[in-house]
Amino acid sequence: MAAMREADDWPLPAAANAGAGVLRPGHRLRLLEGGRALFAAMVQAIDRACHFVHVETYIFVFANQALRVAEALERAARRGVEVRLVVDAVGTPEVPAEWQVRFAAAGVQWRHYAPLGRLGLLIPSRWRRLHRKLCVVDGVVGYCGGINLIDDCDDVVLGRLATPRLDYAVEVSGPLLAEMQATMERLWWRLTAVQRAQSRAFGAAWQAWQAARARRDPGLRRWWRAWLRARGAHRPEEGTADTAVVVGARAAVLWRDNVRHRHDIEHAYLRAIARARREVVIANAYFIPGRRLRQALAQAAARGVRVRLLVQGKYERFLQYHAPRAVHVWLLRRGVEIRVYAPSSLHAKVAVVDENWATVGSTNLDPISLLLAREANIVTTDRRFARQLRARLDHLLREAGTPLALDAFQQRPWHERLRDWAAFAVMRAVLFLTGHRY
């Protein structure tokens, strides 16, 4: 009982005091590993939708496994369900012409987030991307995590993978879905307002902007009514109990944006790490933590907490590969254990602290996610869920992670170490020029 009380008292960001990200009881959580598991769950939920389906993603590749989700969205719209899809214009620069026609015929509404225009990413404000991966169906079931809508063995940089990438999402039902849907709706109507203004439909643009403002109120009663209407359609089948499903969990959704929630997710990590007594386990694809996160991890290790990291081992791009390695040396010197994921691409963004606190989401611990992008993470203090995730990460660290040894790392050729520090310096310089400190 004491352990349970301790878990319930674990903190969230300061924004929780204002009503955002508040831990609430009564959630049903299910950990999903890989796109195959996520897509199967999403398709099942979408095929049972009665009222609305709302999806946001960074990457949507209309091929192989992910094609099942596109087909499910099309089927739902054809039977009268309101279907909305938002894709990022960098992660998904084009929706295939065939699918534009099919979506239009079925009634699927879709938007591009922040198209780049002629100058592209040369304008720093356009680095603010939609990186969160969310889905809400009827206000009854939702999905949040790091998994893009792309086949597990397809990679936009590495090509076809021999082994599925490692990534996670969480299926959730419960009170936080109202906040998820309200936040997604606000973004939808803002994009709609911009689109109509660009087409000089100023009256319609004003109406869309007013709709976006109206959705600042999460509308709990509205989504509660939707839940009551649709709960029968989404109730788990009798006799199919899933031991991986956690019922009655305390959970919250945390956001990162450039207005009201700039540091909520980072603060959640900092506070959880500061309270760690035994262990911190993090699996993060692009691990380039800023000064505060680095110091928090080092301080935890200094007071006897075992800090273990699972990081990306595949070379994708110069900065993403070399800049983290300069941080690795700093952390290894301070007693942090680091293992490189070897079998395939690592894309996970998850963490567990003392089996009392766990998070699954879209947030990399790097400057793009923590300073620029729109992100979303589910956080829970449910020990059952935390133990599930911790057990999986412990297995991966032992069986699929190659340890980094400080001595061997420091004895690499001088030109490799120079690349690491050059990449880290370039990253810091770019951030400085855009007015950010990290």
* CATH, residue 229: 3.30.870.10
* pLDDT > 80? residue 236: no
Same domain (yes/no): 196, 319: no
Same domain (yes/no): 198, 304: no
Same domain (yes/no): 267, 224: no
Type of residue found at 280: V
> Residue 281 pairs with which residues in a beta bridge?
308, 352
Q: Give the pLDDT score at 432.
A: 78
Supply angle C-alpha 34, 35, 36, rounded to 5. 95
Q: Give the pLDDT score at 261.
A: 95
| Residues recognised as catalytic | 131, 133, 138, 347, 349, 354
The pLDDT of 391-406, averaged and rounded, is 96
Q: If pLDDT is split at 50, 70 and 90, which confidence band does 213 have?
A: low
Same domain (yes/no): 363, 312: yes
Residue 263 phi/psi, 5-degree rounding, is -130, 15
Same domain (yes/no): 147, 201: yes
Residue 9 placed within a domain = no
Same domain (yes/no): 80, 202: yes
Q: Give the pLDDT score at 8.
A: 45
* pLDDT > 60? residue 120: yes
Same domain (yes/no): 286, 222: no
Token pair in block for residue 305? 């907490």
Token pair in block for residue 211? 């709709």
pLDDT tens per residue across span 285-322: 999 999 999 999 999 999 999 999 999 999 988 988 99
* pLDDT > 50? residue 19: no
Judge contact between 173 and 208, C-beta under 8 A. no
Same domain (yes/no): 304, 262: yes
Judge contact between 385 and 29, C-beta under 8 A. yes
Same domain (yes/no): 88, 229: yes
- Reported in sequence order, the residue ranges of 257-325 that DSSP labels E, i.e. its strands, are 279-284, 306-312
Token pair in block for residue 19? 């009503």
Same domain (yes/no): 50, 183: yes
Same domain (yes/no): 217, 303: no
| Structural domain count, the chain | 2
pLDDT tens per residue across span 147-200: 999 999 999 999 999 999 999 999 999 999 999 999 999 999 999 887 766 655
pTM of this prediction? 0.87
Q: Where are the alpha helices (DSSP H) in 303-382?
A: 318-332, 367
Type of residue found at 4: M
Q: What is the mean pLDDT of the chain?
A: 87
Which residue segment(s) compose the domain that 363 sits in? 254-433
Q: Give the pLDDT score at 408.
A: 85
Same domain (yes/no): 267, 213: no
- Selected residue with higher pLDDT from 71 and 4: 71
* pLDDT > 80? residue 118: no
**Residue ending a domain, choose from 204, 234, 264:** 234
Residue 5 placed within a domain = no
